[in-house]
Structure 1
Amino acid sequence: MDNTAKSAAILNGRLAEETTRRFTERTFRIFNDADHLSHLASKWKNVAADKAQGHMFEQLETIKFNYDALRKDSELFAKTTASMVLGTDPVDIIISDGKKTLREVQAKSCNHAAASTFALSDKKYAEMMRLSPSDQHAEIEKLLKQRIAAGTLKAGDYEQTLRNLKKDLQYDNVSSGGTTYQQATEATNQSVADRVADEFRVKSALTDMHESGKRAGNMGAAVAGGISAISEGFALFKGEKELGEVTVNIVLASAKGYATGYAVTALSKGVTHTASYYLGTGVASTLARSNAPVAIASGVVNASKSMIAFMQGEIDAEQLSDEISHTAITSTASFYYGAVGQAIIPIPVVGALVGAGVGYFIGNMIHQSGLLALGDSAVVKAAKAHRKQVEAMCLAAIPEIQRHRHEMEQMLSQHFAERKAHFTDAFSAMDAALYEWEPDNFMTGLTVINDQFGGVLPFKNFSEFDAFMKSDEALEF
């Protein structure tokens, strides 16, 4: 796996984590709803089931509504007033978009439709949504119409109840799907409540992973396809590739980018939700904001690709070790520098992306330098192998150099010794010639000295010199 693909996976994971954070936050709300469902079963365990089921009914409708909002990427969410410690409030459930309350809901679940009809028709619930058990809805609607037609004193209240009656918690396109009286009653049992809570935890976590993964996959396809389009377009322009080959390569790169983006983000969400299960949503929320799950996920995905390539025989064990080492170092560096970047550049997404990019670059340099690695990097290994070759050549050359040097020293010693003897004899002859006034002997000594330097005297003896001096020839130096 090349470094461009690795860096794209890490940076795309960072970007996807920020753009899909809303899914994770909504999932944490559902986790809290699930925890509250289990808490209610424990709180009302000593109360008769037909009385306690009303609390379970409200919470079940809320958690189902919030799960549907998560699936549809809606800003809507519901919350019971009981969970907000507003037990005496006439409103049972509030539907909000995070900015304002959109709908107030009164929920009543009694052991038969007539009781539910009467309970829902109180004047203090004016224009609230009236929520009933889904299995009683048709009967309640029928009773309301009968009582309105009969002209009872509460006909006005019944009309308002009928106008606002719903068999499931709903707003716009988000719906709970409804809850029966039997389901609410069964949920008063602690084991049933815990099982339902776990089911919604798992479903919401998987939904977050899938929906976030899809969006990250689209982003990854766009990034990988864009990078491929540039490189492939350049190759097409240079005439190195045909249009058909370029098109196929871009499509394949986009597909790989989608798969990588989906896998990194889905896995990072899985890490976050696993942490939530073992450490609580508070710790998991902090962990998610730190982008640590992205670093872990991108490292796992990139390392998995290298492992698959190794098992398919595309790379050897040495290259596998090098790629996993590179992945570990660059992912860790991207995580830490991403946090630093976000602190230095307090702009959402931008700071983390810049920091992650710098971290990847630094991590790559650290790995290539061999200062930190799970074994030597390819560059370091090549350098060491080259050094060993040079060292072997040097070790073989040293004895030869020493031998040649010794021979040269011997030859020079012998050469200078011989020349020294010639110079000594020549100068002695020249001294004697001056003393005895023998010009020819002096000339003989000069000739010997000239011979040592490869020179030739123009005169062999004094007679030739004397004849030259008496001639009209010009003297040349």
Structure 2
Amino acid sequence: MAKSDRDKKIDAMAGGYLSAGITQRFTERTFGIFNDADQLMQLAEKWKNVAADKAQGHMFEQLEVVKFNFDALKKDSDLFAKTTASMGMPHDKVDILIKNGEEIVREAQAKSCNSAARSAFALSDAEYKEMQRLAPSDQFEKIKELLRKRIDSGALKAEDYEQTLRNIEESLKHENVSSSGTTYQEALNATDVKTAQDIADKFKLKSALTDMHESGKRAGKVGALLTGSISAVTGVHSLHKGEIEVGELLSRVAVDSAKGYATGYVVTAMSKGITYSTTYLLGESVARSFARSNAPVAIAAGVVNASKSFVAYINGDIGGEQLLDEVSHTAITSTSSFYYGALGQVAIPIPIIGALVGAGVGYFIGNMLHQSGLVALGDSRVVKEAKERRYAVQAMCLAVIPEIQKNRLELESYLESYFSQRKNDFLASFCVLDNSLYSWNPDEFVLGLEKINNQFGISLQFKSFADFDLFMSSDEVFEF
């Protein structure tokens, strides 16, 4: 049997909540890049009154960090970089730390001067022992050439130059993650507050879009697996009953899996977009809380499900009444799923599981509320059908009531006439019985009983006491 529209709605909801938990790490990293971008703007504001060729060194470090972390997001790497200045250590001999969780995996020293010679000299301090040396990418080849010449010439700092040459990089990198480098001019331009703002906004947008796409792809796989599995189970059941052929089963599973992938991708990508949009409207802290509440998933799933109904209406597959019913159902179940999902996460403090269980309960409660008509955007289809049946029954009753009243009057008249006569007959018979007792006349008593039995169409076997006495003296069998 094919899946109903309501089943597909809960598939989208469940897949969305499951994918939100699976892709939460992308959201956290993206918010980290937002912080790095904000730090870039703050540095530009902080050093705006300092000569640009002096301030650009701070911008150079932060640009490399932003670029490195963005590349880590794209490659789904656990690596991330932070400047020691942003960590409250502006005078530390290390400029940039590359970390994997809490573990420091690489230390880097970054120097950006207005010439390759100055950058080479600044990077060759003995205290930077075996640190990664980071220079402007446009000076990189020239710096290496200068270092080789100074080493070959036997300069006093030859050993320091050798160490610099051994560790110098044109971009911040570790393993397969790289910043791709920053030129001196880029760092110099970033000292302008407006330019820094533009760069920060660009990286925020790029990281948000990257998260939406990468999370969407993973959610699509989850959705395809979820809907494909359910379709396979129901299809095998139908196959066993002989309702479909193997070819139709395979086709149905393939189509449902493709739809599940598309729905999972769109729901998750949209939920991420909603999360990042709230950053501009409500601030980052509120946006983080908003994302953890799973509200974006509920909203996105609701929008996607409602959009499907609108598309079906535009294509002429459903009418306006059914459109209103489906949109109403989507709104109520989405809202209920959100609130119960949050409650479930509190009641079951296991990542993903609590929210998923709560959302499932919320969906079914919302579905019952909608079906009952207690909460709806207009009457649900079930309520409308019940009302139509009620109106039909009411019309029938109104038509039958006068006839019932007429028949009742006739019946009451008949009963009154019938029972009044029977009443008189019974009273007369009881009087005969009473008199027979006072006079001790058995035959009169039998006569009274005969009259009462006659009212029910029955006659006594014995008409007098003498008949009864004669029977008792005979050999006849007594019958009740």
Aligned equivalents of 1:290 and 1:58: distance in 2?
35
Matched, 1:225 2:225: no
Matched, 1:166 2:158: no
Q: 2:10 aligns with which of 7, 19, 24?
A: 7
Matched, 1:366 2:351: no
Q: 1:318 aligns with which of 321, 324, 337?
A: 321
TM-score by length of 2: 0.89
Q: Deviations over 1:38-86 (max 9, x none)?
A: 1111111111211111111111111000000000000011111111121
Equivalent runs, 1:255-334 vs 2, <5 Å: 255-334=258-337
Matched, 1:107 2:110: yes
TM-score by length of 1: 0.89
Kindly tell me: are residues 180 and 452 of structure 1, through their superposed partners in 2, closer, same or farther at Cα, counting changes over 3 Å?
Answer: same
Matched, 1:53 2:56: yes
Kindly tell me: are residues 173 and 418 of structure 1, through their superposed partners in 2, closer, same or farther at Cα, counting changes over 3 Å?
Answer: same
SS of 2:244's partner is coil
Kindly tell me: are residues 446 and 338 of structure 1, through their superposed partners in 2, closer, same or farther at Cα, counting changes over 3 Å?
Answer: closer
> How many residues align structurally?
463
| 2:217 alignment partner in structure 1 | 214
| 1:200 alignment partner in structure 2 | 203
Please tell me the residue identity of whatever aligns with 1:131.
Answer: L
Q: Cα RMSD between the aligned structures?
A: 3.0
| 1:438 alignment partner in structure 2 | none
SS of 1:91's partner is coil
Aligned equivalents of 2:460 and 2:127: distance in 1?
139
Aligned equivalents of 2:476 and 2:169: distance in 1?
136
Aligned equivalents of 1:307 and 1:313: distance in 2?
10
Aligned equivalents of 1:71 and 1:36: distance in 2?
21
Please tell me the residue identity of whatever aligns with 1:276.
Answer: T
Please tell me the residue identity of whatever aligns with 2:39.
Answer: H
Q: Greater CA deviation, 353-362 or 202-211?
A: 353-362
| 1:410 alignment partner in structure 2 | 413
Kindly tell me: are residues 347 and 457 of structure 1, through their superposed partners in 2, closer, same or farther at Cα, counting changes over 3 Å?
Answer: closer
How many angstroms does 1:448 deviate by? 9.7
Q: 1:133 aligns with which of 133, 136, 141?
A: 136
Kindly tell me: are residues 249 and 448 of structure 1, through their superposed partners in 2, closer, same or farther at Cα, counting changes over 3 Å?
Answer: same
| 1:384 alignment partner in structure 2 | 387
SS of 1:390's partner is helix
Aligned equivalents of 1:291 and 1:427: distance in 2?
86
Matched, 1:238 2:244: no
SS of 1:123's partner is coil
| 1:435 alignment partner in structure 2 | none
Aligned equivalents of 1:29 and 1:458: distance in 2?
109
Aligned equivalents of 1:145 and 1:237: distance in 2?
77
Matched, 1:25 2:25: no
Q: Deviations over 1:147-182 (max 9, x none)?
A: 111111111111100000100111110011111111
Q: 2:87 aligns with which of 84, 88, 94?
A: 84
Percent identity of paired positions between Structure 1 and Structure 2? 61
SS of 1:135's partner is coil
How many angstroms does 1:412 deviate by? 3.0
Q: Deviations over 1:107-154 (max 9, x none)?
A: 111111111111111111111111111111111111111111111111
Kindly tell me: are residues 424 and 231 of structure 1, through their superposed partners in 2, closer, same or farther at Cα, counting changes over 3 Å?
Answer: closer
Aligned equivalents of 1:76 and 1:426: distance in 2?
111
Q: Greater CA deviation, 340-349 or 131-140?
A: 340-349
How many angstroms does 1:420 deviate by? 7.0
Aligned equivalents of 2:450 and 2:102: distance in 1?
116
Please tell me the residue identity of whatever aligns with 2:208.
Answer: A
Matched, 1:157 2:160: yes
Aligned equivalents of 1:353 and 1:83: distance in 2?
37
Aligned equivalents of 1:273 and 1:5: distance in 2?
27
Please tell me the residue identity of whatever aligns with 2:415.
Answer: L
Kindly tell me: are residues 188 and 237 of structure 1, through their superposed partners in 2, closer, same or farther at Cα, counting changes over 3 Å?
Answer: same
Structure 1 unaligned runs (5+)? 429-443
Kindly tell me: are residues 243 and 42 of structure 1, through their superposed partners in 2, closer, same or farther at Cα, counting changes over 3 Å?
Answer: same
Please tell me the residue identity of whatever aligns with 1:227.
Answer: I
Kindly tell me: are residues 162 and 415 of structure 1, through their superposed partners in 2, closer, same or farther at Cα, counting changes over 3 Å?
Answer: same
SS of 2:127's partner is helix
Kindly tell me: are residues 90 and 408 of structure 1, through their superposed partners in 2, closer, same or farther at Cα, counting changes over 3 Å?
Answer: same
Q: 2:397 aligns with which of 381, 394, 400?
A: 394
Please tell me the residue identity of whatever aligns with 1:284.
Answer: A
Aligned equivalents of 1:449 and 1:10: distance in 2?
78
Aligned equivalents of 1:84 and 1:475: distance in 2?
119
| 1:347 alignment partner in structure 2 | 350
Please tell me the residue identity of whatever aligns with 2:233.
Answer: I
How many angstroms does 1:99 deviate by? 2.0
Aligned equivalents of 1:420 and 1:103: distance in 2?
114
How many angstroms does 1:245 deviate by? 0.9
| 2:69 alignment partner in structure 1 | 66
Aligned equivalents of 2:362 and 2:47: distance in 1?
53
